Amino acid sequence: MTTGTPADHAEVVTLIQTYLDGLHHASSATLRQVFHPRLAYVCATEGDELYLDLETYMARIDAREPPAKRGDRRDEAILEIAFGSPRLARVTARMSMMGRDYLDHLTLVREGPRWRIVTKVFTWMPREE
């Protein structure tokens, strides 16, 4: 395992902030900036297991009422960033939106000069108000 350079860390934080913005605004254009074209999207919540590719997931995003438009308060955090090599990173993030609390495990690969999310595996539970 490596610790990643300060520049790598800053780039990953910026990418995750863009990812969270894309989710909050339900913007497939924003999310396409951070996702790898071969994204694997996996919901690991029991009873709601789901496996999607990028295009299917983007269609779902486009059909979603944006949490920003619904007036959802932003409640999100990056819990962990770990670097496995100069080209591999893992991020754990949490967020609340659409009446649910989400926990995301994201795998990133460096593709040329930039990081991209290649897997999104997550679980959710109803949000306790």
The string of pLDDT tens digits covering residues 58-97 is: 999 999 999 999 999 999 999 999 999 999 999 999 999 9
**What local confidence, expressed as pLDDT, does residue 128 receive?**
74
Report the chain's terminal Cα–Cα distance, integer Å. 39
Beta-strand pair 100-111/88-97: antiparallel
Tell me the CATH number at 24.
Answer: 3.10.450.50
In a domain, 54, yes or no: yes
Over range 7-36, report the average pLDDT.
97
Cα(75)–Cα(6) distance, integer angstroms: 26
Contact by Cβ (8 Å): 43, 60: no
Domain residues for the domain of 90 are 6-126
In a domain, 32, yes or no: yes
pLDDT for 37 beyond 90: yes
pLDDT for 98 beyond 80: yes
In a domain, 1, yes or no: no
In a domain, 121, yes or no: yes
Q: How confident is the model at residue 3 (pLDDT cuts 50, 70, 90)?
A: confident
What would the two tokens of residue 30 be? 């924003």
The domain tally of the chain equals 1
**What local confidence, expressed as pLDDT, does residue 59 receive?**
98
At residue 98, what is the residue type?
Answer: M
Average pLDDT, the chain: 95
Q: Can you name the residues that pair with 107 across neighbouring β-strands?
A: 90, 119
pLDDT for 127 beyond 90: no
Beta-strand pair 35-43/75-85: unpaired
At residue 94, what is the residue type?
Answer: R
Residue 70, CA distances (Å) to 32, 82, 91 in order:
22, 33, 27
pLDDT for 50 beyond 90: yes
Cα(9)–Cα(12) distance, integer angstroms: 5
pTM beyond 0.75? yes
